[in-house]
Amino acid sequence: MKVESLPKLDQKILDKLDLYSGFIKAFDNDYFHILSANKNSKKYPAYLVYAQKHGLIKSPDLAIAQNYLDLCKKDLKINPYLISSQHCEKIMDIIMEASVKDGLFCLNKYDIRLRDHGLNEGCGMSWPPGVYDMAKYLSLHDTQKNLHVDKHQYGGLSECSGAVYSHLGNQGMESSAKLFPDLLSQVEVIMFVGDKDLICNIIGIKNMITYMEWGGAKGFTTEPEEWKLDDEMVGTITKDRNLSLYTVFDGSHMTAFDQPEATLDMIRRVLKINSTIPEDTQVNTIENNEPAKVISTVSLPVTTVEEVQPTKVDKIVASIEPEQWPEAEAPPASSDPPISFLTGLYVMFALFGVVVGAVYVMKIIRKRRPPQWGAVPEEEDLEMEERRRIE
C-alpha cells in the first residue's frame, strides 16, 4: 500500500473484508493515534493535562506550551481533521525540552518512568533495548515472507521513515478519524494503551472516545471492568458497540516489553485461544445484526504436536494466504570440464616461476642502479671501495 493512501486505510480494510469472514481484528496505539489524533481537538490538550498530572512540566514552560495549545486549537477549528500542525506538534517539543533543563537526560516519551542514558538518544527513540536489532530482524527476507510482505517490496525496514513522516505532514490529507465510526459499524476493533505512555496517553484516547459518535450513541455507555491475571489487577477493559479498550496498568507505549504477561493474556482474550474465556456470542454489527467480518493475522505457538488443532484463526490465515512464493532457482550447471589435479599443479608451478623470475630481475636492476642519496650501500659495494683505497 502506498503511503499516500494511509488515511484511507480503514476503508481498504473494509473492502478486503468483503472477501473473508473472520473473528477479530486488533489495532495498536500507533494506528489509533493516526485515526484519532485530531478528533474534536482532544488529543493535543491531553499532552498538557497528562504532563501536569505526572509532574512533567511546570512554569514557565507550562505557560509557553499553553500558548501553543491556543494556536493549535485555532488550526483545528479551521480544519478539525487536520493531520498535522506545527503549533500542535510544538506542545510535545516543549515538554521534552523542559525535561532536560536541570541537567538531566531527556524524558522517555514512551515511558515517563524512564530517561535517556546519553545525549542524542531521541527522548526514548533508542529504547527499548534491542530496538535496532529488531529492525535488522524484520528486514530479513524470510521474516518479511512469513509476515506476508508484498514480495515486490522486499527491502530494509526503517523504524521511522522520513518519507512516511513527510506524507503525513501533507496539508491535503485528513485524519481517518472521519471514517472511524463507519469502521466500527462493521468490524470489532480492539485497542490497548499503557498508562505510562505519554505520546499516546490514556487521557487523550479516552477523551477521543468520549466525544466520538458511533453506533447511535456518543462515547462508551458501559463501565470499565476489572482486568485480573492470577488474582492480580493488571488493568481495565471497557467494551461497547464493537469497540474494546484495554488499559494496561504500569504499561508503556510498548506494553509487550514491560507487561508481557498482561499483553499475552489480552491476545488470548481477543482471539479466544488457550484461555478460560467462554466462547460467548460473536460480536454483531450494529446495523444489521450479522456477525462482524474481520480478518486476523495473529497466531500463537502450541506446546505439543498432539494439541495442535485447526482453529478458526488458522483457517482465516490459510484463506488469505498470498500466492505461492516462487522457489529459488538453482544456479545453472557449468558446461566447462572440471580442472584436473595435474593441470592445477602445472598452473601452480608456472605462477611460482613468474614470481621467482620477477625477484631475480629486480635484484639485477638494483645492482646496476647507482645508490640514491642517503641509501645504505650493500656489502659488495663496501668491499670494492676498500680495495680502491688500498691500491
- 280 vs 268, more confident: 268
DSSP string, 144-190: HHHTT--GGG-----SS-HHHHHHHT-TT-B-GGGTHHHHHTTS-EE
Number of domains forming the structure of the chain:
1
Asked, for residue 153, whether it belongs to a domain, the answer is no
Look at residue 178 and tell me whether its pLDDT is greater than 60: yes
Query: Average pLDDT in the 168-190 region?
Result: 78
In this prediction, residue 149 carries a pLDDT of 85
Q: How far apart are CA 296 and CA 26, in angstroms?
A: 8
Q: Is the pLDDT of residue 292 over 90?
A: no
Distance from C-alpha of 315 to C-alpha of 247, rounded to nearest angstrom? 30
Per-residue pLDDT at 320: 38
For the residues 263-288, what does the mean pLDDT come to? 64
Is 70 exceeded by the pLDDT of residue 209?
yes
The pLDDT value recorded for residue 150 is 79
Task: Give DSSP secondary structure letters for 55-116.
Answer: T---TTHHHHHHHHHHHHHHHHHH-TTBS--HHHHHHHHHHHHHTTTTSPPPB-TT-TT-B-
**Which of 24-33, 95-104, 109-118, 266-275 is predicted least confidently?**
24-33
- Contact (CB, 8 A) for 105 and 117: yes
For residues 196-207, average pLDDT: 94
3-state helix, strand, coil in the chain (%, to 5): 45, 10, 45
Would you state the pLDDT for residue 171? 62
Angstrom CA distances, 47 to 44, 127, 303, stand at 5, 21, 43
pLDDT at residue 358, rounded to an integer: 64
Name 49's Cβ contacts closer than 8 Å, sequence gap at least 6.
203
> DSSP per residue over 299-355, as a string?
----S-GGG----HHHHHHHHTPPSPPPPPPPPPPP-SPPPPHHHHHHHHHHHHHHH
Range of the domain at 266: 3-125+160-300+308-319
- Specify if 146 maps to a domain: no
Least confident of 64-68, 303-307, 349-353: 303-307
Burial class for 345, CB neighbours closer than 10 Å (0-12, 13-18, 19+): exposed
Cα 257–261–265 angle (5° rounding)? 120
State residue 373's pLDDT score.
42
| pLDDT for res 275 | 53
Q: Is the pLDDT of residue 313 over 50?
A: no
pLDDT digits (tens, 9 = 90+) for 132-143: 888 889 889 899
Query: Of 206-210, 317-321, 349-353, 377-381, which gets the smallest average pLDDT?
Result: 317-321
Specify if 341 maps to a domain: no
CB neighbours of residue 266 within 10 Å: 24
Judged by average pLDDT, the poorest of 110-119, 206-215, 301-310 is 301-310
Report the range of poorest mean pLDDT among 222-226, 264-268, 279-283: 279-283
Look at residue 36 and tell me whether its pLDDT is greater than 70. no
Answer yes or no: is pLDDT of 236 > 70.
yes
Kindly report which listed range (252-261, 344-353, 365-374) carries the lowest average pLDDT score: 365-374
- pLDDT given for residue 310 in this prediction: 43
Q: Does residue 334 form part of some domain?
A: no
Average pLDDT (328-347) is: 48
113 found inside a domain: yes
Q: Is residue 164 one of the residues assigned to a domain?
A: yes
Give me the count of residues in the chain: 391
Higher pLDDT, 255 or 160: 255
357, pLDDT greater than 50: yes
Structural Rg of the chain based on CA atoms: 33
User: What pTM was estimated for this model as a whole?
Assistant: 0.63
Residue at 292: amino acid letter? A
Long-range contacts of 65-68 (CB under 8 A, 24+ apart): 65/90, 65/91, 65/94, 65/95, 68/94
The CA distances from residue 170 to 36, 165, 302, in Å, are: 17, 9, 45
Give the least confident one: 54-68, 77-91, 274-288, 304-318.
Answer: 304-318
**Residue 92 sits in a domain of what CATH number?**
3.40.50.1820
Residue 20: pLDDT over 80: no
d(CA 327, CA 146) in angstroms, rounded, equals: 14
Show the cell assigned to 66: 499553553
79 in a structural domain: yes
User: Considering the chain, what is the average pLDDT of its residues?
Assistant: 72
Indicate whether 346 pLDDT > 80.
no
Residue 114, in any domain of the structure:
yes
Task: Reply yes or no on whether the pLDDT at 312 is more than 90.
Answer: no
Residue-level pLDDT at 359? 59
